[in-house]
Structure 1
Amino acid sequence: MGVIVESQTGLFHLQSSGMSYILQIVDGYPAHVYWGSKLKHRVPMEGLLIHTPEKAGLDRLPQEYPQYGSGDFRNPAYQVELEDGTRITELKYEGYRIIKGKPALTGLPAVYTEDEAEADTLELELRDAYSGLKVVLLYTVFAERNVIVRSARLINGGDRKLRLRRALSASVDYSGEREWEIVYLSGAWAREGNVTRRPLARGETRIDSKRGMSSHQFNPFAALVAPDTTEFRGEAYGFSLVYSGSFEAGAEVDSFGSARFSIGVNSFDFAWLLSPGESFQTPEAVMVYSGQGLGDMSRTYHRLYRTRLCRGRYRDEERPILVNNWEATYFNFNADKLVEIAEEGAKLGIELFVLDDGWFGKRDSDNSSLGDWIEDRRKLPGGLADVAQRINKLGLKFGLWFEPEMISPDSELYRRHPDWCLHVPGRRRSEARWQLVLDYTRKEVRDYIYDSLAAIFASVPVSYVKWDMNRALTEIGSAMLPPERQAETAHRYVLGLYELLERITAGFPHILFESCSSGGGRFDPGMLYYMPQTWTSDNTDAVERLKIQYGTSLVYPVSAIGAHVSAVPNHQVGRMTPLEFRGDVAMSGNFGYELDLTKFTDEEKETVKRQVAAYKQIRGLVQKGDLYRLKSPFEGNESAWMFVSEDKETALVYYFQVMAVPNAPRRSLRLAGLDPDLEYEVRSGTSEAAFIHGGDRLMQVGLPLAYRQKDYESGWFRLQALKTHKD
């Protein structure tokens, strides 16, 4: 396993325990040969080597990092403008290097190894003789994961300036006519994570964001699948971009039926000036192969992102159960009200209280004070430290909301520094939610935010931070960049954000950071590198959350999915659902409450006590177990999923029925991921009554489900192997 090189044929075989990725140097061009289930390496690899039709040109060659202008008329992976205005470059192979482990990417988040034996990295060096442009293609293959991680480093090795106009992270050509479907996540605010699946036809299929953030509308992820691929069967090829800004991803099917998939920083409104000796590193694309359906692809992403993308002490720690005051009070609160909610939370077993928006400046609504990170003594007479200490004495940790990337025109900061926002001279400054975006390309802006937050963290016992971003970027320009670099602003903003996040998370490692962008507007691998969980959606309705959490799990681990119980009628859709149903949905993620606990009846408080106690017993499995999606909320009235321990001896099953069905048939739920040779003791929820079922029966026949003629019905089951392999 690792990287096998055949110098006589120019072939490179990247091999993991279950996957092969093969490329070949053809006439100086890196060409794609194969990506799929593991192949034994036989020398020579006859039958796999590429032989293009005579005089067919580059348009028929399946390439690894294609260019435009020399005979390939499909979308290129890169494009460079020379000082004379021409845009023709031709990269040819120069050499290679193999590195044990996986090198970090300067200034960018990336998956990593803890032991160099986990992976091998191949670097292919390409060069354009005329301009001096060099490109290093990086391929990391993990020994025990069906994962290829790709990126590119573009270097100006000439003596004149070059301007990048396109620099994608990865491009894969699938040769031969073949039927494909594309799967991706689409949506909008409050309805993120919708699973979209449709056939690829001749021409282009593209998803992207031009918003300066990965966006609610499209996630930086897509998968190519065979038409017969399901959750449990068939081939799936996943592409996930470790980036938090504007991106593009798409497939192009040519006249011969061959498909080219590419992903990277959005080339729309992008340029990057490279002076001699300078380089540009693309974000990395994490590519996953599965021969056993979308579910296996997802679990590969989950394990990788949970353990080799997320970092810090909370990567492996169980996450606390929290109560957030936002939907309980909005901006209308004082210190005593906050402590009153926390007191109820302490009685119910909750572990963390989070103070959301409204604690700073003169923030009585969302039209002022962003940037003025000074506590509001009208609401908090004793300051943040006082309210935090009062809450700590109750046995709860204290968390705090920030929106550090934004500035309100009605703020002291804006009055002092009106040029600190992203803007273009002479153009209007478009406000969204009465706010503008700080220019994170500027070091003095980042330093101000760091100093403001660090001062609070040094004086207040903050254990958790919710880092919000409530609007997209407009008028994307910087007062500090020269004219020839203005098109670099959007990417430089993301690099500045990453620099600040690295600094602040390293400086305060005891704080659990949660990313938020009006919910899931920036739920991406780039943010997970710094913050191991994300507020998945501002929509807390349990029925809508079935779809949102199901779709998000296509690529992101449950340990990253924030999920809360909120009040009814729901504040986003007005729906009335039972507390038990809301709890079961929220317990399928990082669990918490977002409501006024003081308004609960005694009966509701007892329900919450049971939910909190139950989640403390199961959260290790929920947050770290293998997820199996059993029934899709996008396909019917029912949803179901389950979590299975690595040793397959413990499992949890969740089942949801949205609406009651008259004269319903008998039902059973076929499980997955169990050991067919083990017997399992099955209990419904916290009940002590148990039934014994074999793993084979549970997976082939199914778990019998009792029917209740009731809307918004849910239930969960605990499975424990009676006799383990250790016995």
Structure 2
Amino acid sequence: MHWIEPLFPRFATLAASILLVAAAGSPGAQAQRRDTVSFDSASHVFRLDGGDTTYAFGVNENGEMQSVYWGKRLSGADRFAAVKASPAAAAFDLSVTTTPHEFVGWGGGLFVEPDLKVTFPDGNRDLKLRYLSYAKEGRALSVVMKDISREVFVTLHYEIDQETGILRRWADIDNRTNDSIVIEQAAAGTWNLPRGTDYRLRYLTGRWAAEWNLQEQPIRPGKIVLESRRGTTGAQNNPWFAIDHEGDNDQEHGDVWFGALGWSGSWQIAIEQDQLQQVRVTGGPNAFDFGYLLRKGEHFETPSFYGGYSDHGIGGASRELHRFEIDSILPHHPTPKLRPVLYNSWEATEFNVDEAGQMALAEKAASIGVERFVMDDGWFGQRNNDHAGLGDWYVNPQKFPHGLKPLIDKVHSLGMDFGLWVEPEMVNPDSDLYRKHPDWVLNFPGRPRTEARNQLVLNLARQDVRDYVAGFLDKLLTENDIAFLKWDYNRNWSEPGWPAAGKDAEKNVYVDFIRNFYSILAELRAKHPNVEIESCSGGGSRIDLGVMRLTDEVWPSDNTDASDRLLIQNGFTYAYTPGVMMAWVTDSPTWVNQRSLSLEYRFLSSMQGSLGIGANLNKWTPEDFAKAKALVTEYKAIRETIQRGDLYRLMTPESNSPYSVTETVARDGRQVVAFAFLHSSAELYPYPRILLHGLDENAMYNVKALAGRLSDGTPLQGSGSYWMHHGVDVDLRGDFQAAAFVLTRQ
């Protein structure tokens, strides 16, 4: 069913326009149809229902779009009262500031974070948006707003997921004036929470080798800004948030409102408690150094801002996000391919790759059950170290005199597919490409060009650069049977200039670069549908729901110390599914901490995500190969549960806890996998009892130790009630110990 209300040229006709919509169907008829999107003509309220969530907003007496409700799903019989703009809080804070807007332009005395700020050619910067019309189809709703006098239109888009209730929203800004305008700030929209004073914010911070640290702080009057000014997503903050009530520390209980921004460029999320203690969350491209020239007849589409609600604590919020990402975000959703067991040759060879050495490693990897062999950096141009070669994407003839085909054929003969490392957006000054096209990098004329890792950033916003990158990647994939690209990105922006664009449009680089990045990924996927891609950025510096729509897996951190990884992976899973989280078993002692960890411990840590091996197999003993082969076999038996199931954090390594326990329940409930880790035991205390979650109380489950030992007296079979309320004891003592066990429902 599709409804559309005609546009009205004057806002005085607002009431009449709403009445026209009412003729399409009464609230009673809508309730009988059980639409996921409905409109109540009596209250002028739009309502979206999905999963266990209801989201509602309406048109107030001023023609503004005003938030009404976001929370637990309400009865279909429930009706909202007509929305009214909030009263002014004295002359200092007018109604436009105190009203909880869905989307508001900057103007008319607005002092909270605007969703849209523009400058017109005559210098006017006042923008007052008013409701015009709406259209709906299935789970999608679009609402059109327009400035009170100028031909600037904004269409607010909403799509609600039927299973999880997660809402996707974005805005489309249309310039129908007779001249260009400059967008100085553009958000996807604003989430408004129920008025309250006891909210707590959770968010993720980090740096290289120390990503995904969960932070929390109370929300007080004022504004908290999470952001990246780096040109891309960045590890300093990740574009995800969760808000609950202070004191609700339980993983599985309490109301949680959460959201994530689908944008891989510079971004900003502002969490603001206003003068009337209303909490609002506004997100979109970062307004810092931003100014997008929108010419006559052009439109600007913001990134998507996703939001959800759970009354099952932060654990429930995570599980909803994981389910949504698998079923609605990842390529090939709702049934994305399971991640294969991967081997990467970097630690074994670094830049010293050649045909014979890679073939020898491939034989060793195949012997333990690896399914994908990936050759890392060093195969192209004059790439003998990180000082040269980036940008020159031809196979090095000294290292591979017959091209890549002999190596690829060898890998295939061993029963594996072949993958390759690339870093397409970068260039070394010591390269043929840079010597030929020094103007192709981000730069300010006459100013120094800052190098990081001996490289500069290609300006992907330029069409010629975009076409060059897409062209060499297409050629590489066309001429070689490559199943996988590890797409790396090893520095942030500096000197973000685009001289060729002209001074009025130069700041468009922040958006056009990312749009072209996305377009290359989309083009490659269309031309080579069987090729899979990993998003990697010196670790987890480009992971967000934008890039995840176009890539199959992500690299969360260069830190592969298996103990550090417990905390890193714990933080990662608050926002993103373990189904895309690459986790490698690497050498011990690690380069990070010089800490020695057993091979079994390292495997169990990595088996909580998408298992990979990055160790130097040339140094392994026969015992190492035997242990690895056995654990790879075990992983394949639990892989679908780990990558597609429901994750419960039974004990977290947060706050320097010596314990970490994760449990994953398969979607069909037939298999349950638990991993337990001990940093160090002390004072003869036993490991805490593990109480499982998410089981069928009345079903019977067999238990089997996958690694480590269950305590003496553990029954081989018990009910779901027994495992959840009596629990399981594991025998862990010492330093850096681990165990894993599997329950199978009868």
Residues 631-670 of structure 1 mapped to structure 2, 5 A cutoff: 631-635=651-655, 636-665=657-686, 667-670=688-691
User: Which one-letter code corresponds to 1:660 in the other structure?
Assistant: S
The one-character-per-residue Cα deviations of 1:94-147 (angstroms, maximum 9, x if unpaired) are 1111122xxxxxxxxxxxxxxxxxxx1111111112221111111112222221
Which residue, 515, 539, 545 being the options, matches 1:519? 539
Provide closer, same or farther for how the CA distance between residues 649 and 50 of structure 1 changes in structure 2, counting only shifts above 3 A. farther
Q: Give CA-to-partner distance per residue, 1:154-196, whole Å, 9 cap, x none.
A: 1112223221100001212335332111111100001111111
Q: Does 1:704 align with 2:729?
A: yes
Q: Do the aligned partners of residues 647 and 392 (structure 1) sit closer, same or farther apart at CA in structure 2, a change above 3 Å counting?
A: closer
What residue is the counterpart of 1:476 in the other structure? 496
The reply on whether 1:574 has 2:599 as its aligned counterpart is: no
Aligned pairs, number: 701
Q: Could you say which residue in structure 2 is the equivalent of 1:5?
A: 39
| DSSP 3-state at the match of 1:218 | coil
Mapping of 1:153-232 within 5 angstroms?
A: 153-174=172-193, 176-229=195-248, 230-232=250-252
Match of 2:639 among 604, 608, 619: 619
CA displacement at 1:507 relative to structure 2: 1.1
SS at 1:375 equivalent: coil
Calculate the TM-score normalised by the size of structure 2. Answer: 0.91
1:658 partner SS: strand
| Inter-partner Cα distance in structure 2 for 1:696 and 1:43 | 36
Partner of 1:725: none
The answer to whether the 8 A contact 1:33-1:50 is kept is no
How does 1:16-165 map onto structure 2 within 5 Å? 16-26=50-60, 27-42=62-77, 44-46=79-81, 49-50=83-84, 52-53=86-87, 57-100=95-138, 120-165=139-184
Q: Distance in 1 between matches of 2:461 and 2:85?
A: 47
Distance 1:333 1:41 in 2: 63
Displacement, 1:690? Answer: 6.5
Of 66-75 and 488-497, the range deviating more from structure 2: 66-75
Query: Which secondary structure state, in structure 1, belongs to the residue aligned with residue 729 of structure 2?
Result: strand
After TM superposition, give the deviation of residue 314 of structure 1 in Å. Answer: 11
Which runs of no fewer than 5 residues in structure 2 stay unpaired?
A: 1-34
Amino acid at match of 2:222: G
Q: How much does 1:44 deviate?
A: 4.7
Q: Offset at 1:255?
A: 3.0
Structure 1 stretch 659-668 or stretch 87-96: which is displaced more?
A: 659-668
1:233 to 253, 265, 275: 253
Cα distance in 2, alignment partners of residues 136 and 314 from structure 1: 28
Per the alignment, do residues 517 and 64 of structure 1 end up closer, same or farther by CA in structure 2, a change over 3 Å counting? Answer: same
Match of 2:3 in 1: none
Partner Cα separation in structure 2 for residue 247 and residue 611 of structure 1? 41
Residue matched to 1:382: 402
Distance 1:51 1:522 in 2: 39
Separation of aligned partners in 2, 1:347 and 1:205: 52
- Which AA in structure 1 matches 2:741? F
Aligned to 2:484: 464
1:528–1:480 CA distance, 2 compared to 1 (3 A): same
**C-alpha separation between the residues in 2 aligned to 1:480 and 1:413?**
18
The one-character-per-residue Cα deviations of 1:409-437 (angstroms, maximum 9, x if unpaired) are: 00011111111111111111111101011
CA distance in 2, matches of 1:263, 1:68: 15
**Could you tell me how far 1:43 is from its partner in structure 2?**
6.5
Q: SS of 1:607's equivalent?
A: helix
**Counterpart among 252, 262, 269 of residue 289 in structure 2:** 269
| Per-residue Cα deviation, 1:653-673 (whole angstroms, up to 9, x for no partner) | 111111122311363111111
Please list, as runs of the form range in 1=range in 2, the aligned pairs for 1:470-549 lying within 5 A after superposition: 470-549=490-569
- Distance in 1 (CA, whole Å) between partners of 2:43 and 2:176 is 28
For the residues of structure 2 that align with 1:678 and 1:583, how far apart are their CA atoms? 30
- Tell me the residue number matched to 1:440: 460
Range with bigger deviation, 305-314 or 422-431: 305-314
| Mapped partners of 1:474, 1:244: distance in 2 | 16
The Cα offsets for residues 512-549 of structure 1, whole Å up to 9 and x where unpaired, read as 21110001010111111111101111110001110111
CA contact (8 A) 2:113 2:270 kept: no
| 3-state SS, counterpart of residue 575 of structure 2 | coil
2:498–2:507 contact (8 Å) kept in structure 1? no
For residues 292 and 175 of structure 1, the distance between their equivalents in structure 2, rounded to whole angstroms, comes to 18
Q: Match of 1:665, as an amino acid?
A: P
- Residues 547 and 634 in structure 1, CA contact (< 8 A), matched pair in contact too: yes
Deviations 1:484-513 (A, max 9, x none): 001111111001101111111211111121
Distance 2:484 2:515 in 1: 24
Secondary structure (helix, strand or coil) at the match of 1:685 reads strand
Q: Secondary structure at the match of 1:341?
A: helix
Which amino acid in the other structure matches residue 48 of structure 2?
Answer: L
- Answering whether residue 729 of structure 2 is matched by residue 713 of structure 1, we say no
Preserved contact between residue 683 and residue 690 of structure 1 (Cα < 8 Å): no
Measured against aligned partners, the alpha-carbon deviations of 1:200-257 in whole angstroms (never above 9, x if no partner) come to 1111111100001100111111111111333101111111011111000121112332
* 1:22 counterpart letter in structure 2: A
Alignment partners' CA distance in 2, 1:557 and 1:44: 36
Q: Displacement of 1:334 after TM fit? A: 2.3
Alignment partner, residue 455 of structure 1: 475
- Which one of the candidate residues 580, 596, 605 is aligned to 1:585? 605
Verify: 1:684 aligned to 2:705, yes or no: yes
Distance in 2 (CA, whole Å) between partners of 1:436 and 1:45 is 55
CA distances 1:666-692 after superposition (whole Å, capped 9, x unpaired): 631111111112111111106999611
Offset from partner CA, 1:574-623 (integer Å, 9 cap, x none): 11111111000111111111121121111111111111111111111111
Asked if the contact 2:695–2:720 (Cα under 8 Å) also holds between the matched residues in 1, the reply is yes
Could you say what secondary structure the match of 1:703 adopts? coil
* Secondary structure at 2:229 match in 1: coil
Report how far residue 49 of structure 1 moved: 4.1
> Is the Cα–Cα contact under 8 Å of residues 146 and 290 in structure 1 kept in the other structure?
no
Q: Deviations over 1:633-668 (max 9, x none)?
A: 113111111111122221101111111223113631
Q: 1:508 to 1:315 in 2, by over 3 A?
A: farther
**Partner of 2:422 in structure 1?**
402
Q: Which residue of 2 is the match for residue 113 of structure 1?
A: none
SS at 1:130 equivalent: coil
Normalising by structure 1, report the TM-score.
Answer: 0.94
User: What's 1:116 paired with?
Assistant: none
- Partners of 1:143 and 1:310 in 2: CA distance: 17
- Alpha carbons of 1:656 and 1:445: their partners in 2 closer, same or farther (altered >3 Å)? same
TM-superposed CA distance for 1:456, in Å, is 2.1
**2:323, 2:724 → 1: CA distance?**
23
CA contact (8 A) 1:30 1:64 kept: yes
| Amino acid aligned to 1:299 | R
Query: What residue is the counterpart of 1:107 in the other structure?
Result: none
In the aligned structure 2, how far is the partner of 1:247 from the partner of 1:436? 21
Whether the aligned pair in 2 keeps the contact of 1:288 and 1:297 (CA below 8 Å) is yes
1:284 and 1:264 map into 2 onto residues whose CA distance is 8
Distance (whole Å) between structure 2 residues aligned to residue 151 and residue 387 of structure 1: 46
Shift of the 264–571 alpha-carbon distance from structure 1 to 2, 3 Å rule, reads: same
* CA deviation string 1:43-94 (max 9, x = no partner): 7534x74463378522221111123331331111110111111210100111
Percent of pairs identical after alignment? 33
